[in-house]
A and B are shown apart, each in its own frame.
Chain A
Amino acid sequence: MNFYKIIVLFAVFGVNQVFAQKKVFSFSATMNTIGVLEDANGQPDSMLNWTFGYFNTEIDKQHDVPGPLVEVNLGDTVVIEFYNPSPEGHTIHLHGLDVDQRNDGVPSTSFFVLTGDTASYEFIATKAGTFMYHCHVTTPLHFQMGMYGALIVKNGNSTYNNYGKFNNEHLLFLSEFDRRYHAMDITGIDLRDMRLDYILVNGKTHGQIYRDSNEVLSLKPGDTCLLRVVNATYSINRLTIPNEINCKIIGSDGRKIPADIVTNTIDVYPGERYGLLLTTANVIDSAAIEICYLNMRTQKGTKTEYIPINEYAFVAPPEKKNIEDNDTVKTDITSRIGIKPLLVYPNPTMRFIIIEDFEQETKFSILDLNGKCWLKGELGKSKRLDLGALPDGIYILSTSHQNTLILKE
């Protein structure tokens, strides 16, 4: 191919189309994934999930909620091979990708992928933007159980066709869990009745978000961050962006909108996706994006989660709860004896820990396993302790609270 032909190809098809590839993803489904979330008290909460994951690879066992991120380039031919070894039929619906009927993933109009079957879905990524995939079999149930994931069509450093340039990006794949569905027996459950026990941000809750550096949104003066928001919930997701950040909506559902909208409050409805460009003129620390879930039936806020900006181990405000919300009452040992457990993170830590959830001023000490005291003092509602001077090793955090000793490593 000579130089002129290359030029013509670039002019006719664009750079992405010339370098478009065939991308093949091999997925499988499971209905026995055990996931561990963190509750509002910092305690682990295990539950049964149904999931998509990679099949027949070294990371086969990493089935999780959400399913793997499918990331392709504009113009790519995308093939998702799907093997279903699970006990029930599933499909993959390519939400927002405008595929033909065969590849739409609706069992009654496309096809079922029954137990032991293998099928493939194929499409050409003709629009850049943020999409999702999910199972469309008994959708309220399979969606609740975790069978979904994000699908991103990239166009270099532009969000859409040569518009919305950014130098970093962050995905907020928002979903939710009702604990009752993730118990072993869901016989007789009413599929209209979805209660919000957990807000999931990229599959994580509470401290799992604040302690994970991958979940920290990075934004410095001079940056333009593309924030991709996916609502895979049963709720309205109301995002409140801190005032020191300039936020504009530039697109939705994989399309540029006619005119950018400057706003710091964005309501995202179930199934919608938004593309937001964030910039700041000032250095930001100790700030967070607030995500409030509003009940669709009442349009009232129920629960709130926070996305830390720039600060690893962000300290979130106390969780907001609506008294009308149907919370599941946990009966663990600490709640029975009336002691609120400590929330300590990050743990393990390299430098510092943050301690939360004290009912009152509380004395503390940090001891090594020989009983030597390395640090002591008094905690307020929340406290950040610098452990940089301590040698590597295992320590005991000891506090006195109503004559009850609480220990955490």
Chain B
Amino acid sequence: MRFFALLLAIVLHAELSFAQSFFLNKGTITEKQATIDILRLNQSSIFDSSNAVISISENQANQLIISNSFQRNLTFQIYKTDDLILSELLKTGASKTIEIPSLTKGVYRYQLKNGIEAQSGVKGLLLVGVKVDFVWRIKELDMDYAKAFLDDKLSNTDYFPERFSINGFIYPQTMQDVKTKVNCKVGDTVDILIFNAGYMPHSMHVHGYHVLITESDSNPNQTGWSKDTFPVQKDRYCFIRLIPDKPGKYPVHDHYMGSVTVEGNYPGGMITMLDVSN
């Protein structure tokens, strides 16, 4: 009997640790009448301007299969804050199966190797056993950096991003995405994970409410604080909790004013909304 129970556990475990497939896709975006190719990690072979969120189970091995259609070899890495968990070479034109070791519950990030490759903007969340109501991946794009990546060199210009986004959307696109605009009711408990996948910090401001910072590797000493404005550092995340007590529409945006523009005009960029109903 004990033998069969053990066998069943092994079979169940094997079934749960399935492989997930991802694709490094090249696509085109336009900014200031200029177009540029960018690279993103997507869940299908069709280009999407936002990097995928990878979710895996905690405390068990997982597999990722990543197809690299870009013209150069690239290095895929997983970090927990500043600690490198793994680094794998993705050969051009090939798929690579990556064995992810058993990880404890938490927020990790994937990215291409720091330096030239990181300029690609391929950087995203690896959630291990994390369940949350909303995820906001905040990010900016400097076209000079993106071009430098394509040219296989480091940018020699000051960082001056043109495009500021949440989950790949720039306002008012953010208002159309049900995973970016928060629709909730008075009395709900809404947990939001904010991850900064860009190169610079952002100072997020919530209208109408203070939120509780429940966890942060961005500014750990702010964990437990009730804030209406809080920084999220580059490569870092924080969880915020909102318990709305009044209905209404309340914007959330970066209070660094350059981020709430698009093509130099306001409003645009890193703005979304809390839409609280009775």
Contacts and interface: CB of A to CB of B under 8 A. Distances in A.
A163 to B, nearest CB: 14
Interface string A182-193: 000000011111
Given A192-B258, A192-B264, A106 B160 contact: no
A269 B232 CA distance: 10
A267 B221 CA distance: 12
A258 B258 CA distance: 32
A193 B259 CA distance: 10
Contacts of B256: 234, 270, 296
B208 A104 contact: yes
A339 B210 CA distance: 53
Contact of B229 (A99, A140, A272): A272
A96 B225 contact: no
A293 interface: no
Given A101-B250, A297-B161, A297-B200, A143 B257 contact: yes
Interface in A174-200: 189-194
Interface stretch (A26-34, A44-52, A61-69, A249-257): A249-257
Given A104-B250, A297-B160, A255 B265 contact: no
A258 B248 contact: no
Interface string B231-268: 10000000000000011111100111110110011110
Nearest to B249: A109
B158 interface: yes
A258 B224 contact: yes
Contacts of A324: 158
A258 B159 CA distance: 36
A98 B228 CA distance: 8
A253 B225 CA distance: 9
Interface in A352-398: none
Given A253-B210, A269-B201, A190 B159 contact: no
B224 A298 contact: no
B226 interface: yes
Contacts of A106: 207, 251
Most chain B beta-carbon neighbours within 10 Å: one of A192, A236, A257 = A192
A114 to B, nearest CB: 18
A35 interface: no
A353 B266 CA distance: 47
Nearest to B160: A297
B229 A191 contact: no
A144 B266 CA distance: 13
Contacts of A271: 203, 205, 228-229, 255
Contacts of A299: 200-201
A192 B200 CA distance: 14
A236 B201 contact: yes
Interface in B178-234: 199-201, 203, 205, 207-210, 221-222, 224-231
Most chain A beta-carbon neighbours within 10 Å: one of B158, B208, B209, B246 = B208
A6 interface: no
B225 A269 contact: no
B257 A253 contact: no
B32 to A, nearest CB: 10
Interface string B153-180: 0000011111000000000000000000
B200 A296 contact: yes
B257 A191 contact: yes
Given A95-B205, A101-B249, A255 B227 contact: yes
Interface in A244-274: 252-255, 257-258, 261, 267, 269-273
Interface string B129-164: 000000000000000000000000000001111100
A204 B145 CA distance: 37
Given A100-B208, A297-B200, A140 B261 contact: yes
Interface string A90-110: 000101101111101010110
B17 to A, nearest CB: 39
B203 A298 contact: no
Contacts of A234: 256-258
Contact of A101 (B208, B227, B255, B261): B208
A197 B156 CA distance: 24
A335 interface: no
Contacts of B254: 270
Given A101-B249, A297-B158, A194 B258 contact: yes
B266 A138 contact: yes
B233 to A, nearest CB: 9
B249 to A, nearest CB: 5
A120 interface: no
Contact of B225 (A143, A236, A255, A273): A255
Contacts of B255: 269-271
A141 B267 CA distance: 11
Interface in A184-239: 189-194, 234, 236
A139 interface: yes
Contacts of B266: 138-141, 191
Contacts of B199: 297
Given A140-B260, A255-B210, A100 B226 contact: no
A96 B261 contact: no
A380 B174 CA distance: 60
Contact of A95 (B159, B228, B248): B228
Most chain A beta-carbon neighbours within 10 Å: one of B199, B222, B224, B227 = B227
A269 to B, nearest CB: 4
Contacts of B205: 95, 271
A192 B265 CA distance: 8
Most chain A beta-carbon neighbours within 10 Å: one of B160, B201, B207 = B207
Given A106-B251, A108-B267, A296-B200, 17 more contacts: A93-B207, A98-B210, A100-B246, A144-B257, A190-B264, A191-B264, A192-B264, A193-B258, A194-B257, A234-B257, A257-B224, A257-B225, A258-B225, A269-B229, A270-B203, A271-B203, A272-B230
**What are the 7 A-B residue pairs with the smallest beta carbon separation, nearest first?**
A101-B248, A271-B255, A140-B257, A190-B264, A271-B229, A269-B203, A269-B231
15 contacts: A98-B208, A98-B210, A104-B250, A140-B261, A191-B264, A192-B161, A192-B162, A193-B258, A234-B258, A254-B228, A272-B230, A296-B256, A296-B258, A297-B160, A299-B200
